[in-house]
Structure 1
């Protein structure tokens, strides 16, 4: 268990700034902010957006950098699997979820100008717009709603915040216990039977 905690802590450098905006280099591509309501609606479409973007042929450097940022940022958010990462403003994974979903939205908007993807992108944009209006979510805000991002600055959850957030900590501990149990069962299964 200590090894799992050390591994998690080593993947999030403590010296790294956790906020976009004024911290770090601004040499990257700016990514507009995303409201909390937009984030909740775009999250279910993220896979379709990225899948379509990966198959796009008419790309440029800006598009590829936005796509790369969205994919890397999502990994830092543990693939969006942490409970409350998109719905709980207090989750240590909420800010990084804002970042990867804002990048996903930027990728989607970039694809609107591509000939081959225009129809599929139009369908996704229409679905997202409809969901925003139907659920009255376009103006739902949280403390990260006004924060813009930059491809030069990855947003990482702070380990101390993860430890203090009960749902996040419980999920990580449960995942660690499942891994340990699986390793133990595998070791028992491959161990040769004792000789009489």
Structure 2
């Protein structure tokens, strides 16, 4: 277990993302989300992707945003880590901001596409109403002002997993499950035929 943690921390870059201190890399620029907006977009992400998957006439911007959002979601371990949305201290919070900001940018772009415009604008209206009801724009965190780009993937802060108890618990439980599975496959002696 200690070896696996050592490998993960050694393989992780010193800085997962440049943060808001440096301009975003080349690519399609993706506006930031507040922490509150992120929670609302997370509730609608499935609907945004469903609308995107029904589009047959697409353009390069649509495809880059769609692919980047899916890649970013995968890097963020499919949003499965506890606290990735609500806990600002989670090593997965920044990458959650990135994939949800990309989902919002994708929806905004679909509102300009003739085949998706009506449905996208209706969904935007629903999201706007939900954001107003929840006061989403007022809930901020350290990543609320950070913009993103399709030219870079925001990785979780792998080194910080050992200091974030919920993430550490999931990591240890996963490793224990893998060891148990390996033991059940390779560790038990098989009965020999007589």
TM-score interval, normalised by the smaller of the two chains: 0.7 to 0.9
| Residue matched to 1:80 | 79
Runs of 4+ off more than 6 Å: none
**Are residue 44 (structure 1) and residue 34 (structure 2) matched?**
no
| Residue matched to 1:133 | 132
What TM-score results when the alignment is normalised by the length of structure 2?
A: 0.86
| Residue matched to 2:106 | 107
> What is the distance in 1 between the residues matched to 2:186 and 2:46?
36
| Residue matched to 1:27 | 26
* Unmatched tracts of structure 2, length 5 or more: none
| Residue matched to 2:89 | 90
> Over residues 111-154 of structure 1, what are the superposed CA-to-partner deviations in whole Å (9 max), with x where a residue is unaligned?
01222223332332232122212222222111100111111121
> What is the distance in 1 between the residues matched to 2:75 and 2:46?
16
> Over residues 66-106 of structure 1, what are the superposed CA-to-partner deviations in whole Å (9 max), with x where a residue is unaligned?
11111111111111111111101111111111011001100
The 3 A distance-change label for structure 1 pair 64 and 54 is same
- Is the deviation greater in 95-104 or in 38-47? 38-47
Tell me by how many angstroms 1:178 deviates: 1.8
> What is the distance in 2 between the residues matched to 1:131 and 1:25?
29
| Residue matched to 1:193 | 191
The secondary structure found in structure 2 opposite 1:43 is: helix
The 3 A distance-change label for structure 1 pair 181 and 132 is same
| Residue matched to 1:181 | 180
Q: Report the number of matched residues.
A: 194
> Over residues 5-46 of structure 1, what are the superposed CA-to-partner deviations in whole Å (9 max), with x where a residue is unaligned?
467457x64156423445487221111010111100111221
Contact 1:35–1:141 (CA under 8 A) maintained in structure 2: yes
The 3 A distance-change label for structure 1 pair 15 and 142 is closer
**Are residue 71 (structure 1) and residue 61 (structure 2) matched?**
no
What TM-score results when the alignment is normalised by the length of structure 1?
A: 0.86
| Residue matched to 2:123 | 124
- Is the deviation greater in 121-130 or in 14-23? 14-23
Contact 1:17–1:24 (CA under 8 A) maintained in structure 2: no
> What is the distance in 2 between the residues matched to 1:3 and 1:61?
43
Tell me by how many angstroms 1:180 deviates: 2.3
- Is the deviation greater in 80-89 or in 21-30? 21-30
